[in-house]
Amino acid sequence: MVEQGSEVLFLQFGVYELDLRAGELRKRGVKLRLHGQPVQVLSILLMRCGELVTRDELRKQLWPGDTFVDFDHSLHNAIARIRDMLGDSASTPRYIETLPRRGYRFVSEVERVGPASPASAAPCNEAEKMPVRATRSRLRAALAVACFTVIAGGLALWLVPHHTNAALQLRSIAVLPLDNLSGDPSQDFFVDGMTDDLITNLAKVSSLRVISRTSVMRYKGTKKTLPEIARELNVDGIIEGSVIRSGTRVRITAQLLHGPTDRHLWAES
């Protein structure tokens, strides 16, 4: 592992946590199969979140000059492995941004946890200006999840008896990226996380085909009509909605529509 300093033991972002001592990446406490150079690359990007980490810097830290290796191939594979594990995309990055021919930048919020102090969290480019206690951050997240679970659960309960209805033909569904109505671009990460959670919850309906996050993110901010999107994704149902977050208050709305006909079927907030 790369030297991280004695003050930082864990790096937390979204539902993920990187244990710097063990060299382990966990999602909601569950260890993920990410080892070796991908973990090392991820730790460097996390420790310098918001900054450009050049390809040359990565080579010097992880592939010394006396090591014979195809650097370009190894770095590409490491980044691809990280993105695959995080469900990230090079075209619509939520975590790792590629700066062509220069390097990479970790673009999401990171919490640094030390041995005897609470975590501090902030957007990467303002980490020293806006310290936030981990307890407060986690409370906000818990409130959002509780609110969101009610919506996702209600939608799932509606779908179970209806998705086989011949008149509706809801055998497949796509969750469009939720709109951030907070007026604060820094909340995009939080809103995208709500989109991910909704996709995950609906995927639990075993007989329903749910389109992946990677496929729907290209429709973020799109002006296309719902029938057009439904036709392109080959789905029967479309879910769209919005999130407003202010302090510890979160309002989430969602509605289900029959894609081909743009017919409204269900809504909750």
What is the full per-residue pLDDT of the chain (269 aa) written as tens digits? 334 444 567 888 888 889 888 888 988 778 888 888 899 999 999 999 889 999 989 888 887 665 545 777 888 889 999 998 998 988 888 899 999 889 999 998 888 876 544 444 444 544 443 343 444 445 445 545 555 555 656 666 556 555 444 445 578 889 999 888 877 777 777 788 778 877 877 777 777 888 988 889 889 888 889 999 999 999 988 988 888 876 667 778 888 888 888 888 877 77
Q: Do residue 172 and residue 258 come from a single domain?
A: yes
94 with 204, same domain: the answer is no
Task: Provide the pLDDT for residue 41.
Answer: 92
**Is residue 1 a part of any domain in this protein?**
no
Residue 135's pLDDT is 44
> Are 143 and 45 contacting, i.e. CB atoms less than 8 angstroms apart?
no
Six token digits for residue 70: 């195809």
Looking at the fold, whether 19 and 67 belong to one and the same domain comes out as: yes
d(CA 264, CA 120): 43
In a domain, 172, yes or no: yes
Residues 108, 162 share a domain? no
CATH number at residue 16: 1.10.10.10
Residue 146, pLDDT score? 52
149 and 26 share one domain = no
Enclosing domain of residue 81: 10-126
The count of domains in the chain is 2
Selection from 199, 161, 196 nearest residue 14 by Cα:
196
Task: Please give the structure tokens belonging to residue 17.
Answer: 């946590």
Whether 203 maps to a domain, the answer reads yes
Do 83 and 168 lie in one domain? The reply is no
Q: Please return the burial class of 169, using the count of CB atoms within 10 Å of its CB with bins 0-12, 13-18 and 19+.
A: middle
Alpha helices for 94-187 (secondary structure H): 134-162
Distance CA 16, CA 13 (A): 5
pLDDT at 132: 39
Q: What is the pLDDT at residue 130?
A: 39
pLDDT score for 227: 92
- Give, for 103, the enclosing helix (H) or strand (E): strand 103-106
Strand boundaries in 22-102, DSSP class E: 24-27, 30-31, 53-54, 96-99
Which two tokens mark 21? 């001592």
Statement to judge: residues 152 and 120 lie in one domain? no
C-alpha span between 214 and 87 (Å, rounded): 8
Same domain, 35 and 66: yes
Q: Of 95, 126, 157, which closes a domain?
A: 126
* Tokens read off for 115: 């041995």
CATH number of the domain where residue 252 is located: 3.40.50
Query: Does one domain contain both 78 and 154?
Result: no
**Of 126, 154, 171, which closes a domain?**
126
Judge if 81 and 120 occupy the same domain: yes
Judge whether 2 lies within some domain: no
Residue that terminates a domain, selected from 92, 126, 160: 126
What amino acid occupies position 166?
A
In a domain, 227, yes or no: yes
Do residue 32 and residue 122 come from a single domain?
A: yes
Same domain, 248 and 155: yes
Residue 140, domain member (yes or no): yes
